[in-house]
Structure 1
């Protein structure tokens, strides 16, 4: 099982990857939205912002997020690490229910480029 530190490191790697992207991926990551990533097996939530093509984690807390973020991701720690490392395909994980992504329809349309 992935640890809280491994999950945070995975989010940092994802942020670095998004910041270095070009074209449509960079445009999709250029949103300015509140973001939460709930790690279900650890009962930990990382909260922050998606801004300037980066994920900025501002808070880590036990349990669910304190506030409802505009973009919400929920998955296990192992699945987060596997997604970021390229061992798990997002669309398959989402279709099977291993990953939940909640956002406005407009944001989902923009984010699909990242997925």
Structure 2
């Protein structure tokens, strides 16, 4: 099981990667939504905002009102961010759950 610090670092790495590719991401996914990432086996969460192709204001804690909520285990979170776990297969096998309105899910598919 990964630690809270490893999960935080993985999300910060993802934010940095999105920031480096913000123009390309923005062309594919034009969203401005709050985002919560719930790590089920650690009983912890992180939240931020997905806007202009970037993941901003990433901080500890849950946002129960987040428009997009991802839930997964710590190990699966790390594997997703590292590209070792295909998100479509992870969702199909219920290793990852994403809750969002249908229009946002269609936009997110372009990113995933």
TM-score by shorter chain over 0.5 = yes
Q: Could you tell me how far 1:27 is from its partner in structure 2?
A: 2.5
Structure 1: which 5+ runs fail to align?
none
Residue 42 (structure 1) aligns with: 42
CA apart distance, 1:52: 2.5
Total equivalences in the alignment: 111
Which range moved further: 77-86 or 8-17? 8-17
Runs of 4+ in 1 over 3 A off after TM superposition: none
Q: How far did residue 28 of structure 1 move? A: 3.8
Distance 1:30 1:18, change over 3 A: farther
CA offset at residue 15 of structure 1?
A: 1.4
TM-score, with length taken from structure 2: 0.88
Q: 1:99 aligns with which of 93, 96, 99?
A: 96
The whole-number CA distance in structure 1 between the counterparts of 2:12 and 2:40 is 19
RMSD of the alignment, in Å? 1.7
